[in-house]
């Protein structure tokens, strides 16, 4: 049997990780984050599909495409966290466990970053633990999707 697929989605400007504002977001590049996720997924027996886009519509389409294909979604919605009802609606409609990740602690930052529309669709939220938050989200996701693979639950 193939391992459960977790889709890891990254929103706008996260392609700049490690290249700008390292004092805020650290030195790891998005490629480093993908490698970190691949390593964690391998250990946890998960497959990942890791993506980044600057487009709101593309992000929404990717969420929709998870239906029937993925077992869970990990998402750092970046700038769309605080603006996108469309993204919220897609995450609510997809019917999968969702973990929202932020590299920084959005609650220690500017007031406008505090309210996340996406959190309304999230099973859990990880913020402020740097890029390690992605590995922690994968660990939590493995726990959330494991019961689906338990043959005892099939009865
Ligand atoms: O802390 C996070 O992960 C954020 O989602 C990052 C977003 C920000 O809008 C959220 O409030 C919190 C910004 C992503 C932009 O990433 C950059 C990375 C390096 C240099 C510049 C931007």
110-135 tens-digit pLDDT? 999 999 999 999 999 999 999 999 99
Active site residues: 25, 102
Domain segments of the chain: what residues?
A: 5-147
Q: Which residues does a 6 A CB cutoff place in the pocket of ligand 1?
A: 13-14, 16-17, 20-21, 25, 76, 78-79, 81, 102-104, 106, 113
Distance 9 CA to ligand 1 centre (A): 13
Tell me whether residue 27 is annotated as binding: no
Say if CB 44 and CB 138 are below 8 A apart. yes
For a pLDDT cut of 70, what percent of the chain falls above it? 94
146-155 tens-digit pLDDT? 865 444 454 4
Tell me whether residue 152 is annotated as binding: no
Lowest mean pLDDT among 9-13, 98-102, 126-130, 146-150: 146-150
Q: Is the pLDDT of residue 85 over 80?
A: yes
Q: Is the pLDDT of residue 22 over 60?
A: yes
**Can you tell me the mean pLDDT for 5-16?**
98
* Residue 30 banded pLDDT, cuts 50, 70, 90: very high
Cβ within 8 Å of residue 41, ≥6 positions away: 6, 47, 48, 138
Distance 148 CA to ligand 1 centre (A): 33
Taking the CA of residue 109 as reference, the ligand 1 atom at the shortest distance is: 11
For the domain made up of 5-147, give the CATH fold: Rossmann fold (3.40.50)
| For ligand 1, mutation pick of 10, 12, 13 (most atoms within 8 Å of CB) | 13
């Amino acid at each position: 049997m193939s391992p459960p697929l977790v889709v890891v989605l990254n929103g706008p400007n996260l392609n700049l990780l490690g290249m700008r504002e390292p004092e805020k977001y650290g030195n790891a590049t998005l490629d480093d984050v993908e490698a970190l996720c691949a390593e964690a997924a391998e250990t946890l027996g998960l497959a990942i599909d890791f993506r980044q886009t600057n487009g709101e519509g593309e992000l929404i389409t990717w969420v929709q495409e998870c239906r029937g294909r993925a077992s869970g979604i990990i998402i750092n919605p970046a700038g769309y966290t605080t603006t996108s009802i469309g993204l919220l609606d897609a995450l609510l409609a997809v019917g999968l466990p969702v973990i929202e990740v932020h590299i920084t602690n959005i609650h220690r930052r500017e007031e406008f970053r505090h309210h996340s529309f996406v959190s309304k669709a999230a099973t859990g939220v990880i913020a402020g633990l740097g890029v390690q938050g992605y590995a922690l989200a994968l660990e939590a996701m493995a726990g959330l999707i494991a019961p689906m693979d338990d043959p005892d639950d099939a009865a």
